[in-house]
Structure 1
Amino acid sequence: RGPYATAALFDLLAAEAVARIEEVAGTPGSRTYRRTLRLPYGSGLASVDEASPGGPWLEARIQLTDLRDLTTAVQRVRRLFDLDADPYAVDEALAADRRLAPLVAARPGLRSPGAADPEEAAVRTLVGRAAAGELVERYGKALDVPCGGLTHLFPEPDVLAGSAEDPALRALATALADGRLRLDAGADRDEAEETLLALPGMDRPTAALIRIRALGDPDVDPYGTPGAERWRPWRSYAVRHLETAEAAALN
């Protein structure tokens, strides 16, 4: 729906990719993002192309061990790629700000990505990319049939709750495993953040980032950016514009 800043999102996915569960292959403009999916009835693989000739869409292929997971898998991919956003409303609001106007003009349709697995996203936000890779290596479940570099599923919260050495990670995993912390699509965002902030080792910026990625909240500023109140209700998108512009300037 509307413009989509595909290159910026694929750049982010490539920078964040965790080996064994994710990979981005190809050259900019024609990349493919692939990842494993832990689903209610089995496992799956999703592949999404950066370039989709002939339409305003992202072309995806999903492989499943159980067809009952099809609807869930599609919803997970849509959340990751923020496909239910209204880019016209977001761009119109943010372009009215003098600081953001040139950024919106440079990348119309920039999305605020969600997560294919909100529980995984919470853990990854807390521990970082390198440590997340170690968790996959130590505790991830191996696929019955590996596919290229995709060999594992991200470890489930109950596995991490009983095995993780880091107290903060163990507390987060325990809250997810016992249901005290809900991050599904129907979860209350304020309640989830309150639960997160009560966990040992959790700070406010990390909880806010989890709120953006795991809960798909469009209106979060994790960094206390001066003047961010004028970007409501799209602060998450404003932050993405600033982060994307900064990354481009560094490159």
Structure 2
Amino acid sequence: MHEDVERCVRAVQSKDARFDGWFFTGVVTTGIYCRPSCPVVPPKPENMRFYPSAAAAQQAGFRACKRCRPDASPGSPQWNERADVVARAMRLIADGVVDREGVPGLAAHLGYSTRQIERQLHAELGAGPLALARAQRAQTARLLIETSALPMGDVAFAAGFASIRAFNDTVREVFALTPTQLRDRVARGHPARGHSAGTAPEPGESVATLSLRLPFRAPLCPDNLFGHLAATGVPGVEEWRDGAYRRTLRLPNGHGIVSLRPQPDHVACTLALTDVRDLTIAISRCRRMLDLDADPVAVDDLLRTDPVLTPLVDKAPGRRVPRTVDAAEFAVRAVLGQQVSTAAARTHAARLVTAHGRPITDSDGGLTHLFPDPAALAALDPAALAFPQTRRTTLTTLVAALASGEIDLGVGSDWTEARTRLAALPGVGPWTIETIAMRALGDPDAFIPGDLGIRVAARELGLPTTPAALTRRSASWRPWRAYAVQYLWATGDHAINRLPAA
């Protein structure tokens, strides 16, 4: 979009927040870059320069605006909509792969050479993977500086910097302030846009707790999003408590507990982490689970072109697709949920968690375990599973494929290849594959015409009820069929469609 200068200028002049994260505006007269909705007086069009990423604006010599916090804007929706190499690379960078494994590790995940990855990212985003990861580290550093009492040395390494010097130089270059000046600015009453105050661990404690705000593009309908997560939650791993969805997180350097509470203009997020180096990754996974980087206006506008869906969209616009923080976990749960009720699926999952999950301590609620990873489940005894032999075989085969890496469902995975490999497993049919594609892989066009709830909704709305006919009828909903599923599900009276009672 940054190449469409006229459209970008109109977005900046109208302060249109829908385009935050789509592009960034560099102002040549001030040397700063902003989000489109920046509250200051818009610059003259001839003084605007447009960039596809914050990293590209930084590389061009611009520093982040202190008013609009462009680094804290919602992410570009295209990285979760697309399945090409650049989109997969951006999802992996957001998940911290470059910080953990470097550019060679990123290239290995994608099956390309480092030179190819560099070239493709530069061509589309104006910056390479190191610059993109550096921009993400700067954003994390600013968050920790402004919302915690951590010593600056701890902030530097928690944000992923290799040295204090690199941390200081980057913060000064990107924000035109030293780390101490950033913290002092908050103390003087200039809170960070998009974030709220947090707390650092007291001496002797092993958990750091930080509170922040997760921005999104309006509108957002929280009913099906949080309702689905709460209604299908696994006891001990997930819960709804005091108006918030809470769950445990397995992270690269430790584990955590997140509490997510819907608010009118943001999602309030409280993270308790055993290692603050996981902050960026935890935020990225929570945003992905809640589908907060989606462009609801584009989705709803297309779905409204179908007269059958128009009243459903108008009734509650902005529905998101409830996804997951752990794709392997969700794949296991999808198999457990084959041909059984939501309650039965939760019971089966809870038994696996109790038997194989890692116990954790939750001082603020009733969470007790991390969901077991494929390696832990690889040792389970099929005879202990309380369901038919065929499903036991399906589950153990899936777990083995996930544990060995034969099937990759991670954020950088190839959606087509993942579907093909899942289809080769015994007992994994179209419903399971598309459910995993929708909620674990994040494919916005995943569609489950054989789902019972979809068939019931189709019958009530006068749509075809056979999978083949409904699939043909859904062609006009592409590439947003996963969102159409949410609107169709919403026609039923089920707990997944409403926020739990207080």
Q: Give the TM-score range, shorter chain.
A: over 0.9
TM-aligned CA distance change 1:106 to 1:159, over 3 Å: same
Residue number among 291, 313, 332 corresponding to 1:123 in the alignment: 332
Partners of 2:374 and 2:291 in 1: how far apart? 24
Assess if the C-alpha contact under 8 Å between 1:32 and 1:48 holds in 2.
Answer: yes
Give the match for residue 429 of structure 2. 203
Q: Given the alignment of the two structures, is residue 21 of structure 1 paired with residue 247 of structure 2, yes or no?
A: no
Q: CA RMSD in A?
A: 1.7
Superposition map of 1:57-76 within 5 A:
57-76=266-285
Partners of 1:183 and 1:229 in 2: how far apart? 26
Q: Given the alignment of the two structures, is residue 177 of structure 1 paired with residue 393 of structure 2, yes or no?
A: no
Give the match for residue 313 of structure 2. 104
TM-fit CA distance, 1:144 = 4.8
Give the match for residue 257 of structure 2. 45
Assess if the C-alpha contact under 8 Å between 1:42 and 1:65 holds in 2.
Answer: yes
The structure having more radius of gyration, on CA atoms, is 2
Give the match for residue 493 of structure 2. 247
Greater mean alpha carbon deviation, residues 137-146 or residues 88-97 = 137-146
Partners of 1:46 and 1:248 in 2: how far apart? 25
Residue number among 214, 219, 224 corresponding to 2:445 in the alignment: 219
Assess if the C-alpha contact under 8 Å between 2:237 and 2:367 holds in 1.
Answer: yes
Partners of 1:160 and 1:218 in 2: how far apart? 29
Residues 58-84 of structure 1 show CA distances to partners (whole Å, capped at 9, x for unaligned) of 110111001111111011101110011
Q: Which runs of 4+ in 1 moved over 4 A?
A: 144-147, 248-251
TM-fit CA distance, 1:90 = 0.2
Partners of 2:480 and 2:487 in 1: how far apart? 11
TM-fit CA distance, 1:10 = 1.7
3-state SS of paired residue (2:379): helix
Equivalenced residue count is 244
Give the match for residue 113 of structure 1. 322
- Structure 2: stretches of 5+ with no match in the other structure: 1-216, 338-345, 383-391, 450-466
Residues 172-223 of structure 1 show CA distances to partners (whole Å, capped at 9, x for unaligned) of 1111111111111110000001110111121111011001010011001112
Give the match for residue 32 of structure 1. 244
Greater length-normalized contact order (CA 8 Å, ≥ 6 residues apart): 1
Partners of 1:13 and 1:145 in 2: how far apart? 19
Assess if the C-alpha contact under 8 Å between 1:162 and 1:170 holds in 2.
Answer: no
Letter in 1 for 2:353: V
Letter in 1 for 2:251: L
Work out the percentage of aligned pairs sharing the same amino acid.
Answer: 44
Letter in 1 for 2:406: R
Give the match for residue 88 of structure 1. 297
Partners of 2:381 and 2:360 in 1: how far apart? 21
3-state SS of paired residue (1:214): helix
Q: Given the alignment of the two structures, is residue 168 of structure 1 paired with residue 414 of structure 2, yes or no?
A: no
3-state SS of paired residue (1:172): helix
Residues 81-130 of structure 1 show CA distances to partners (whole Å, capped at 9, x for unaligned) of 00111101000000111111011011110001211111111111110222
- Structure 1: stretches of 5+ with no match in the other structure: none
Assess if the C-alpha contact under 8 Å between 2:229 and 2:322 holds in 1.
Answer: no
Residue number among 174, 183, 192 corresponding to 2:418 in the alignment: 192
TM-fit CA distance, 1:39 = 0.6
Greater mean alpha carbon deviation, residues 97-106 or residues 124-133 = 124-133
Residue number among 329, 333, 349 corresponding to 1:132 in the alignment: 349
TM-score by length of 2: 0.47
3-state SS of paired residue (2:360): strand
3-state SS of paired residue (1:59): strand
TM-aligned CA distance change 1:206 to 1:241, over 3 Å: same
Give the match for residue 360 of structure 2. 143
Q: Given the alignment of the two structures, is residue 2 of structure 1 paired with residue 212 of structure 2, yes or no?
A: no
TM-aligned CA distance change 1:25 to 1:178, over 3 Å: same
Letter in 2 for 1:230: S
Residues 128-152 of structure 1 show CA distances to partners (whole Å, capped at 9, x for unaligned) of 2221111111111101556421010
Residues 40-67 of structure 1 show CA distances to partners (whole Å, capped at 9, x for unaligned) of 11110000012x2xx5211101110011
3-state SS of paired residue (1:246): coil
Assess if the C-alpha contact under 8 Å between 1:164 and 1:170 holds in 2.
Answer: no
Assess if the C-alpha contact under 8 Å between 1:3 and 1:87 holds in 2.
Answer: yes
Partners of 1:11 and 1:232 in 2: how far apart? 25
Assess if the C-alpha contact under 8 Å between 2:423 and 2:429 holds in 1.
Answer: yes
